[in-house]
Amino acid sequence: MGKIVNIKDVAKEAGVSIATVSRVLNKLPTVKKANKLMVEAAIKRFKFRPNVSAQRLAAHCNNAIGLVIPKSSNVFHSFYAIQVLQGVGLTVEKLKLDLLLHITSGNSFLNASAVEGIIFCEIIGNEEQVDNVLKMDIPCVIMNYFTKDLPVSCVAIDNVNAAYKAVEYLIKLGHSRIATITGKFDSQIAVERLNGYVKALSKYKIEKRNIYIKYGDYGRESAIKATKELIKLKNPPTAIFVASDEMAVGAIQTLVENGIDVPKDMSVIGFDDNPFALNFSPVPITTIRQSLYQMAVVATETLHKIITQKIEGNKKIILPTELIERNSCRSLT
């Protein structure tokens, strides 16, 4: 095995100082053309590849950001995680950054010294880590969670008004007996989507009935259980607003298995615009579209701008949502 060539060898071969070699490697314009050509020739002769980690340490810059994702049993199969990973991953590639992925249930912390900034996909369960990052004055962006109180940038959607939009759509179709299946209630998102449901009922003077509110966890099984409870009611709903498309699938499957036609007998509207909602059988699902991919892109770009000091202060960014009409809802009028 041949000797590993280092920067000293290159400098000796080129007849220049180590500092000159370093300036050439870092593409600084303060090197004489003759010296630059000699260094480049020595690099080519030795097939020298600089130690990137050492360069970054010398520059007090590691060029990496961290991504903290909540741990779940299906984290690498969930629509949410896949969209976030795609958005962040492709953006860091475009920005020529490195990415350190940390999946945690809140019991383990990302090594903050290894990154220049951090994106948190959710802060529920990670409050202590977020507090530590803010105390260390490390650039940070929280996505899919809106906060007015914390001195941190965040990128989210208006979940209250998005849910309001979904329920208002059902009301305008003539439905008044509208149920909801919520997400997991340890998340801000689930609370806000329930608040949007209640807000729409109140606006149109429809009584809120607690028996029509069922609590899920964003998973299909929880929706199946909730739907079975709803159809057993003496006066069941004519429509269900479901807090995720994954749960909407479970709800529709349960309705069909029990001889309830969607949308003839029951209307169902979901949330997310998961790709399978478009071609779901027996009926494509009407839903609220939120771009998790775009949220991840914006969060990454915002963090990079904070790190490079291209923006100052804490940015509170709200992205738009869109009602997507398909075939799982029908008018009663």
Is 209 within a domain?
yes
283, 327 Cβ separation under 8 angstroms = yes
- What single DSSP character describes residue 78? -
Quote the domain boundaries for residue 14: 7-58
**Assigned domain for 104 exists:** yes
**191-202 residue pLDDT tens:** 999 999 999 999
Task: Express each pLDDT in 170-219 by its tens digit.
Answer: 999 999 999 999 998 888 999 999 999 999 999 999 999 999 999 999 99
* Nearest-angstrom CA–CA distance, 4 and 22: 18
**26 and 171 in a common domain:** no
CA gap 55, 63 in Å, rounded: 11
Integer angstrom CA distances of residue 58 from 28, 33, 209, 332: 15, 24, 63, 69
The region of weakest confidence among 86-95, 305-314, 319-328 is: 305-314
Residue 329 lies in a domain: no
In-domain check, residue 25: yes
On whether residue 325 sits in a domain, the answer given is no
Higher pLDDT, 9 or 247: 247
For the chain, give the percent of residues with pLDDT over 70.
94
pLDDT of 78 above 60: yes
Same domain flag for 104 and 207: no
Per-residue CA distances from 10 to 6, 22, 27, 35, 293 (Å): 7, 10, 16, 12, 45
Does one domain contain both 44 and 79? no
Task: Check whether residue 154 and residue 166 sit in a common domain.
Answer: no
Q: How far apart are CA 34 and CA 6, in angstroms?
A: 21
Quick one: average pLDDT of 58-73?
A: 75
Q: Are residues 46 and 69 in the same domain?
A: no
**Residue 253 vs residues 37, 227, 316, 324: alpha-carbon distances, Å:** 70, 10, 38, 20
Edge-to-edge strand list for the sheet holding 98-104: 98-104, 64-70, 117-120, 140-143, 153-157, 316-319
2 belongs to a structural domain: no
- What is the pTM assigned to this prediction? 0.79
Q: Which span out of 9-13, 128-132, 142-146 was modeled with the highest average pLDDT?
A: 142-146
| Model confidence pLDDT, tens digit, residues 260-286 | 999 999 999 999 999 988 889 999 999
Mean pLDDT within 51-77:
69
In-domain check, residue 211: yes
Q: What is the pLDDT of residue 304?
A: 94
Pairing of strands 178-182, 213-215: parallel
Query: What domain count does the chain have?
Result: 3
